[in-house]
Protein backbone atom coordinates (compact mmCIF):
# COMPACT_ATOMS: atom_id res chain seq x y z
CA UNK A 1 0.00 0.00 0.00
CA UNK A 2 1.13 3.52 -0.75
CA UNK A 3 -0.69 6.75 0.04
CA UNK A 4 1.45 8.89 -2.31
CA UNK A 5 -0.24 10.94 -5.01
CA UNK A 6 -0.73 10.02 -8.64
CA UNK A 7 0.63 12.59 -11.09
CA UNK A 8 -1.59 13.32 -14.08
CA UNK A 9 -0.47 15.64 -16.84
CA UNK A 10 -1.64 17.10 -20.10
CA UNK A 11 -0.66 19.85 -22.48
CA UNK A 12 -3.43 21.90 -20.89
CA UNK A 13 -6.93 21.52 -19.61
CA UNK A 14 -8.30 18.61 -21.67
CA UNK A 15 -6.66 15.93 -19.52
CA UNK A 16 -9.19 16.81 -16.82
CA UNK A 17 -11.46 14.28 -18.59
CA UNK A 18 -8.91 11.63 -17.56
CA UNK A 19 -8.52 13.12 -14.05
CA UNK A 20 -12.30 12.95 -13.62
CA UNK A 21 -12.34 9.27 -14.68
CA UNK A 22 -9.48 8.52 -12.23
CA UNK A 23 -11.33 10.25 -9.41
CA UNK A 24 -14.50 8.32 -10.23
CA UNK A 25 -12.81 4.91 -10.33
CA UNK A 26 -10.21 5.46 -7.57
CA UNK A 27 -11.75 7.83 -4.99
CA UNK A 28 -9.15 6.90 -2.34
CA UNK A 29 -6.24 8.12 -4.43
CA UNK A 30 -4.68 11.58 -4.09
CA UNK A 31 -3.85 13.31 -7.36
CA UNK A 32 -1.70 16.15 -8.66
CA UNK A 33 -2.84 17.37 -12.07
CA UNK A 34 -0.55 19.63 -14.06
CA UNK A 35 -1.57 21.25 -17.34
CA UNK A 36 1.05 23.03 -19.43
CA UNK A 37 -1.24 25.93 -20.25
CA UNK A 38 1.78 28.14 -21.06
CA UNK A 39 2.69 26.02 -24.08
CA UNK A 40 -0.57 24.39 -25.20
CA UNK A 41 -1.37 23.25 -27.90
CA UNK A 42 1.07 20.36 -28.34
CA UNK A 43 -0.94 18.87 -31.25
CA UNK A 44 0.77 20.82 -34.07
CA UNK A 45 4.30 20.72 -32.51
CA UNK A 46 7.16 18.46 -33.58
CA UNK A 47 7.78 15.15 -31.77
CA UNK A 48 11.13 16.49 -30.45
CA UNK A 49 9.53 19.56 -28.91
CA UNK A 50 6.72 17.51 -27.36
CA UNK A 51 9.30 15.11 -25.87
CA UNK A 52 11.30 18.01 -24.40
CA UNK A 53 8.20 19.55 -22.81
CA UNK A 54 7.06 16.17 -21.50
CA UNK A 55 10.46 15.52 -19.85
CA UNK A 56 10.21 18.83 -18.00
CA UNK A 57 6.79 17.93 -16.68
CA UNK A 58 8.00 14.45 -15.71
CA UNK A 59 10.84 16.02 -13.69
CA UNK A 60 8.41 18.40 -12.00
CA UNK A 61 6.06 15.57 -11.04
CA UNK A 62 8.91 13.39 -9.75
CA UNK A 63 9.93 16.33 -7.51
CA UNK A 64 6.44 16.08 -5.99
CA UNK A 65 7.15 12.42 -5.07
CA UNK A 66 4.32 10.93 -7.07
CA UNK A 67 3.99 7.13 -7.01
CA UNK A 68 2.73 6.79 -10.60
CA UNK A 69 2.20 9.08 -13.58
CA UNK A 70 -0.67 9.20 -16.05
CA UNK A 71 0.07 10.88 -19.37
CA UNK A 72 -3.44 12.18 -20.00
CA UNK A 73 -2.46 13.76 -23.33
CA UNK A 74 -2.80 11.74 -26.54
CA UNK A 75 -0.14 13.77 -28.35
CA UNK A 76 2.42 13.21 -25.56
CA UNK A 77 1.46 9.52 -25.34
CA UNK A 78 1.99 9.25 -29.10
CA UNK A 79 5.40 10.95 -29.21
CA UNK A 80 6.99 10.56 -25.79
CA UNK A 81 5.69 7.59 -23.79
CA UNK A 82 8.69 5.29 -24.33
CA UNK A 83 11.10 8.15 -23.63
CA UNK A 84 9.30 9.02 -20.37
CA UNK A 85 9.23 5.38 -19.30
CA UNK A 86 12.97 4.98 -19.68
CA UNK A 87 13.50 8.10 -17.53
CA UNK A 88 10.95 7.46 -14.80
CA UNK A 89 11.51 5.43 -11.64
CA UNK A 90 7.72 5.20 -11.19
CA UNK A 91 5.22 3.59 -13.59
CA UNK A 92 4.02 5.78 -16.48
CA UNK A 93 0.63 5.06 -18.07
CA UNK A 94 -0.45 6.54 -21.39
CA UNK A 95 -3.88 6.86 -23.00
CA UNK A 96 -3.27 5.17 -26.35
CA UNK A 97 -2.95 1.49 -25.47
CA UNK A 98 -6.00 1.46 -23.17
CA UNK A 99 -8.03 3.31 -25.85
CA UNK A 100 -6.88 0.96 -28.60
CA UNK A 101 -7.71 -2.06 -26.46
CA UNK A 102 -11.22 -0.75 -25.78
CA UNK A 103 -11.74 -0.08 -29.51
CA UNK A 104 -10.47 -3.51 -30.57
CA UNK A 105 -12.84 -5.07 -28.06
CA UNK A 106 -15.81 -3.04 -29.35
CA UNK A 107 -15.47 -3.44 -33.12
CA UNK A 108 -17.29 -6.26 -34.88
CA UNK A 109 -16.23 -5.26 -38.41
CA UNK A 110 -12.52 -4.82 -37.56
CA UNK A 111 -12.77 -1.37 -39.13
CA UNK A 112 -11.98 1.38 -36.65
CA UNK A 113 -11.85 5.16 -37.12
CA UNK A 114 -9.39 7.27 -35.15
CA UNK A 115 -9.50 11.04 -34.78
CA UNK A 116 -6.87 13.13 -33.01
CA UNK A 117 -4.52 16.08 -33.24
CA UNK A 118 -2.24 16.46 -36.25
CA UNK A 119 0.67 15.06 -34.19
CA UNK A 120 -1.20 12.02 -32.90
CA UNK A 121 -2.49 11.09 -36.35
CA UNK A 122 0.88 11.69 -38.04
CA UNK A 123 2.54 9.39 -35.48
CA UNK A 124 0.23 6.50 -36.41
CA UNK A 125 0.33 5.52 -32.72
CA UNK A 126 -3.31 4.33 -32.55
CA UNK A 127 -3.02 2.43 -35.84
CA UNK A 128 0.13 0.69 -34.62
CA UNK A 129 -1.47 -0.18 -31.26
CA UNK A 130 -4.66 -1.47 -32.94
CA UNK A 131 -2.80 -3.57 -35.51
CA UNK A 132 -0.58 -4.98 -32.77
CA UNK A 133 -3.76 -6.32 -31.16
CA UNK A 134 -5.20 -7.50 -34.48
CA UNK A 135 -2.99 -7.33 -37.60
CA UNK A 136 -6.10 -7.53 -39.82
CA UNK A 137 -7.59 -4.35 -38.32
CA UNK A 138 -8.47 -1.65 -40.85
CA UNK A 139 -7.81 1.78 -39.36
CA UNK A 140 -9.16 4.99 -40.89
CA UNK A 141 -7.45 8.07 -39.46
CA UNK A 142 -8.35 11.74 -39.55
CA UNK A 143 -6.69 14.73 -37.87
CA UNK A 144 -9.25 17.23 -36.52
CA UNK A 145 -7.13 20.17 -35.32
CA UNK A 146 -10.00 22.67 -35.22
CA UNK A 147 -11.87 20.70 -32.54
CA UNK A 148 -9.52 21.76 -29.70
CA UNK A 149 -10.09 25.53 -30.00
CA UNK A 150 -13.83 24.98 -30.58
CA UNK A 151 -14.11 22.98 -27.34
CA UNK A 152 -12.04 25.52 -25.39
CA UNK A 153 -14.41 28.19 -26.67
CA UNK A 154 -17.25 26.13 -25.15
CA UNK A 155 -18.87 25.62 -28.58
CA UNK A 156 -19.90 22.07 -27.82
CA UNK A 157 -23.26 22.28 -29.57
CA UNK A 158 -22.75 25.03 -32.11
CA UNK A 159 -23.41 25.28 -35.84
CA UNK A 160 -19.74 26.08 -36.56
CA UNK A 161 -18.62 22.94 -34.72
CA UNK A 162 -21.24 20.83 -36.51
CA UNK A 163 -20.06 22.19 -39.88
CA UNK A 164 -16.40 21.41 -39.05
CA UNK A 165 -17.30 17.93 -37.78
CA UNK A 166 -19.24 17.18 -40.99
CA UNK A 167 -16.24 18.26 -43.07
CA UNK A 168 -13.78 16.11 -41.12
CA UNK A 169 -15.95 13.04 -40.63
CA UNK A 170 -17.98 12.73 -43.83
CA UNK A 171 -15.23 10.75 -45.62
CA UNK A 172 -14.97 8.38 -42.63
CA UNK A 173 -18.61 7.38 -42.91
CA UNK A 174 -17.93 5.81 -46.31
CA UNK A 175 -15.36 3.41 -44.88
CA UNK A 176 -17.79 1.29 -42.88
CA UNK A 177 -16.26 1.95 -39.46
CA UNK A 178 -18.34 0.74 -36.50
CA UNK A 179 -16.11 2.29 -33.82
CA UNK A 180 -14.59 5.77 -33.61
CA UNK A 181 -11.74 6.41 -31.18
CA UNK A 182 -11.82 9.92 -29.73
CA UNK A 183 -8.03 10.16 -29.66
CA UNK A 184 -7.73 13.59 -28.07
CA UNK A 185 -8.49 14.81 -24.56
CA UNK A 186 -10.96 17.41 -25.83
CA UNK A 187 -13.11 15.24 -28.05
CA UNK A 188 -15.17 13.49 -25.33
CA UNK A 189 -16.75 16.92 -24.77
CA UNK A 190 -18.16 16.69 -28.31
CA UNK A 191 -19.71 13.24 -27.83
CA UNK A 192 -23.37 14.24 -28.37
CA UNK A 193 -22.53 16.18 -31.55
CA UNK A 194 -20.19 13.48 -32.88
CA UNK A 195 -22.85 10.84 -32.19
CA UNK A 196 -25.30 12.83 -34.34
CA UNK A 197 -22.78 13.27 -37.15
CA UNK A 198 -21.60 9.63 -37.18
CA UNK A 199 -24.99 8.01 -36.62
CA UNK A 200 -26.10 5.45 -34.02
CA UNK A 201 -24.31 2.48 -35.60
CA UNK A 202 -20.87 3.95 -34.77
CA UNK A 203 -19.71 3.46 -31.18
CA UNK A 204 -17.57 6.26 -29.72
CA UNK A 205 -14.58 5.21 -27.62
CA UNK A 206 -13.19 7.61 -25.07
CA UNK A 207 -9.86 6.50 -23.62
CA UNK A 208 -10.35 8.32 -20.28
CA UNK A 209 -12.24 5.46 -18.61
CA UNK A 210 -10.03 2.76 -20.14
CA UNK A 211 -6.95 4.65 -18.90
CA UNK A 212 -8.32 4.90 -15.34
CA UNK A 213 -8.91 1.13 -15.51
CA UNK A 214 -5.32 0.55 -16.64
CA UNK A 215 -4.04 2.76 -13.80
CA UNK A 216 -6.08 0.71 -11.29
CA UNK A 217 -4.60 -2.51 -12.70
CA UNK A 218 -1.02 -1.20 -12.47
CA UNK A 219 -1.46 0.11 -8.91
CA UNK A 220 -2.85 -3.27 -7.84
CA UNK A 221 -0.15 -5.23 -9.56
CA UNK A 222 2.65 -3.16 -7.99
CA UNK A 223 1.07 -2.92 -4.52
CA UNK A 224 0.72 0.86 -4.82
CA UNK A 225 -2.98 1.21 -3.97
CA UNK A 226 -3.77 3.84 -1.29
CA UNK A 227 -5.13 2.50 2.00
CA UNK A 228 -8.91 2.94 2.23
CA UNK A 229 -8.78 5.43 5.08
CA UNK A 230 -5.93 7.65 3.88
CA UNK A 231 -6.59 11.42 3.60
CA UNK A 232 -7.29 12.23 -0.06
CA UNK A 233 -5.88 15.44 -1.53
CA UNK A 234 -6.23 16.94 -4.99
CA UNK A 235 -3.90 19.56 -6.41
CA UNK A 236 -4.49 21.43 -9.65
CA UNK A 237 -1.50 23.11 -11.25
CA UNK A 238 -1.11 25.20 -14.40
CA UNK A 239 1.99 26.67 -16.02
CA UNK A 240 0.13 29.85 -16.98
CA UNK A 241 -3.07 31.73 -16.17
CA UNK A 242 -4.54 29.69 -13.28
CA UNK A 243 -7.77 31.70 -13.48
CA UNK A 244 -8.44 30.60 -17.08
CA UNK A 245 -7.54 27.02 -16.13
CA UNK A 246 -10.19 27.08 -13.40
CA UNK A 247 -12.78 28.68 -15.71
CA UNK A 248 -12.29 26.49 -18.78
CA UNK A 249 -11.60 23.46 -16.57
CA UNK A 250 -15.14 23.68 -15.28
CA UNK A 251 -16.34 22.75 -18.80
CA UNK A 252 -14.38 19.47 -18.51
CA UNK A 253 -15.43 18.43 -15.00
CA UNK A 254 -18.49 18.66 -12.84
CA UNK A 255 -17.29 21.46 -10.57
CA UNK A 256 -14.37 23.75 -11.21
CA UNK A 257 -10.81 22.57 -10.46
CA UNK A 258 -9.79 25.00 -7.71
CA UNK A 259 -7.69 26.43 -6.24
CA UNK A 260 -5.17 26.33 -9.09
CA UNK A 261 -1.45 26.70 -8.34
CA UNK A 262 1.07 28.16 -10.76
CA UNK A 263 4.24 26.18 -11.58
CA UNK A 264 7.28 27.35 -13.51
CA UNK A 265 8.78 24.28 -15.10
CA UNK A 266 12.06 25.98 -16.07
CA UNK A 267 12.76 26.73 -12.38
CA UNK A 268 13.75 23.09 -11.83
CA UNK A 269 16.82 23.56 -14.01
CA UNK A 270 18.01 26.49 -11.92
Q: Which C-beta is closer to ligand DGL: that of 212 or that of 226?
A: 212
For ligand DGL, the binding residue among 148, 197, 208, 237 (CB under 6 A) is 148
Q: Any catalytic annotation for residue 73?
A: yes
Catalytic residue among 8, 73, 78, 260: 73
Number of residues counted as binding ligand DGL (CB under 6 A): 17
Write out the binding residues for ligand DGL, residues 169-208 only, by CB under 6 A.
184-186
Residue 75 C-beta-side C-alpha neighbours within 13 Å: 31
Q: Which C-beta is closer to ligand DGL: that of 203 or that of 211?
A: 211
* Distant-in-sequence, close-in-space partners of 194: CB < 8 Å, separation ≥ 6: 165, 169, 180, 182, 187, 204
Q: Which among 142, 181, 187 is positioned nearest to 161, based on CA atoms? A: 187
Residue 214 C-beta-side C-alpha neighbours within 13 Å: 23
Write out the binding residues for ligand DGL, residues 41-80 only, by CB under 6 A.
41-43, 73-75
Q: Which C-beta is closer to ligand DGL: that of 11 or that of 203?
A: 11
Assess contact for 187 and 109: CB atoms under 8 A.
Answer: no
Helix (H) or strand (E) holding 9: strand 6-10
Assess contact for 12 and 40: CB atoms under 8 A.
Answer: yes
For ligand DGL, the binding residue among 6, 7, 10, 88 (CB under 6 A) is 10
Q: Any catalytic annotation for residue 144?
A: no
Q: Which residues are catalytic?
A: 73, 184
Residues of the shown chain interacting with ligand DGL in the complex, contacts defined by CB under 6 A: 10-12, 14, 40-43, 73-75, 117, 120, 148, 184-186
Amino acid sequence: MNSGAIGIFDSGIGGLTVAAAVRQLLPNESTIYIGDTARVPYGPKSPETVRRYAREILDWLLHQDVKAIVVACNTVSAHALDDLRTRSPVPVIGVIKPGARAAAHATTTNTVGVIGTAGTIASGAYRIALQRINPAMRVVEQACPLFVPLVEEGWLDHEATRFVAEEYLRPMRNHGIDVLVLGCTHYPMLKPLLREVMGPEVQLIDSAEATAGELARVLNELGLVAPARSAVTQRWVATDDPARFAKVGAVFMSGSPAPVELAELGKLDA
